[in-house]
Amino acid sequence: MMHIGPFQLRNRLVLAPMAGVTDRPFRQLCKQLARGWTVPRWSRPIRCCGQRKTPPPAPITNGEVEPRTMQMAGAPIRRDGRGRRHNVDHGAQIIDINMGCPAKKVCNVMAGSALLQYEDLVQRILEAVVEAVDVPVTLKIRTGWDRGHRKTACAINRPHRRAGRAAFRCAVHGRHPRLRPKGRGRYEPSGT
């Protein structure tokens, strides 16, 4: 079994979001059959009238399996705290931050795995989110930005473990973003 804050999962099976695949009916089916944790695809801030605004989340309370999770793109700190509170106000029971997406369109706007180049910024984002919400916070991350940043995941997770944040969990993808789905992943313990 695994715990995420007050939520006890029946097993350690986690279904990560995949664009165009893990829609609500698919997540519901997986939850019925596997009884693990499913995470919907992330939402991100959009430009509206010259300002960055967080779009209203899809209704996550209607038919969504519990614990209801809202995944958000990791983004610079000035946008994070407010958006996370907004999602909790709209029914999110867990906030999941995506700092693992390697897509160019995501990395080009300083979100997803591009943030792994800046450990201090990642720490500030995590601190802002953890302080802004009263629900568990989880993080999807990669081993680092490239081969030279292999220990990034350890460095990012360590302060939260030392602080005893039981509601903070981190999932690490064994490849850095530049490998894409090719190349050899690194699956030795990462200290997270």
Distances, alpha carbon 109 to alpha carbons 5, 15, 191, in Å:
31, 26, 29
Domain boundaries, position 103: 2-179
Long-range contacts of 180-189, Cβ-Cβ distance < 8 Å, separation of 24 or more: 180/102, 186/143, 186/150
- Is residue 114 a part of any domain in this protein? yes
- Is residue 185 a part of any domain in this protein? no
User: What's the structural domain count of the chain?
Assistant: 1
CA angle 54, 130, 52 (to 5 degrees): 20
- Is residue 192 a part of any domain in this protein? no
- Is residue 43 a part of any domain in this protein? yes
Condensed to tens digits (0 to 9), the pLDDT of residues 123-161 reads: 888 888 888 888 888 888 887 777 776 666 667 666 665
Looking at every residue in the chain, the average pLDDT score rounds to 73
- Is residue 187 a part of any domain in this protein? no
Condensed to tens digits (0 to 9), the pLDDT of residues 159-174 reads: 665 555 555 677 777 7
Condensed to tens digits (0 to 9), the pLDDT of residues 53-98 reads: 545 545 555 667 788 888 887 666 555 456 667 788 888 898 888 8
Nearest to 131 by CA among 92, 169, 80: 80
- Is residue 184 a part of any domain in this protein? no
CA angle 96, 101, 102 (to 5 degrees): 165
Least confident of 12-16, 156-160, 177-181: 156-160
Helix or strand or coil: residue 79? helix
Q: Predicted confidence band at 48 (pLDDT cuts at 50, 70, 90)? A: very low
- Is residue 191 a part of any domain in this protein? no
Which residues are catalytically annotated? 101
- Is residue 189 a part of any domain in this protein? no
Q: What is the pTM of this model?
A: 0.78
Q: What is the CATH number of the domain that holds 45?
A: 3.20.20.70
